[in-house]
Amino acid sequence: MKNLFRLLFGKRKPIVLELERYFPESHKRSGQPTHFGSKILSGAKSKIHALRLNHDQWNQLNGNSGKAPLRIVYRSLRDMKISTTLIHECKKMGLQQAVIPHCEEHLILVDGKEIPIEDFVRHEGLCEDDFREWYKNDGGKQAVVIHFTDFRY
């Protein structure tokens, strides 16, 4: 009976993380593919987390517990209809708080720890130039790192 209850009521609804299929219009590589999906699926650890500015929303969704499953998708709009393409599903996710660095800074703060920017962007699936271009107007802002693996800083 206990297992039946857990089966019926114990599962948490998956949280959906939408990734950009293409670089945004504000980026110098606008319209070019990001290849985030293949970087996640390759197993080469070239994209093991995503950085998001809406940290309060993510903390509330996950309860900072890491127990919520995560569904990673590409989202697209065709013929006025929104469609999603599943990239990967994780049984759990992890969150860490971050502060986006200003353009000239070489470290990013993650849970209060100073992480070299080149290490962070490698796990973000971007080169340093693309990362800085993507977040060029967000220096000093609070963010959240959404992990797809057990890796943490």
The pair phi, psi for residue 146, each rounded to 5°, is -100, 110
Q: Is residue 110, in this structure, part of any structural domain at all?
A: yes
Q: Which H/E stretch holds residue 131?
A: helix 128-134
What is the extent of the structural domain holding 101?
12-147
pLDDT in tens, 95-152: 999 999 998 899 999 999 999 999 999 999 999 999 999 999 999 999 999 998 899 9
pTM of the full structure: 0.83
Q: Is residue 152, in this structure, part of any structural domain at all?
A: no
Q: Is residue 2, in this structure, part of any structural domain at all?
A: no
Q: Is residue 5, in this structure, part of any structural domain at all?
A: no
Q: Is residue 6, in this structure, part of any structural domain at all?
A: no
Q: Is residue 33, in this structure, part of any structural domain at all?
A: yes
Count of structural domains within the chain: 1
Segment 70-81 mean pLDDT? 76
Q: Per-residue pLDDT for 93 more than 50?
A: yes
Q: Which H/E stretch holds residue 98?
A: strand 94-99
Sign of CA dihedral 27, 30, 35, 36: positive
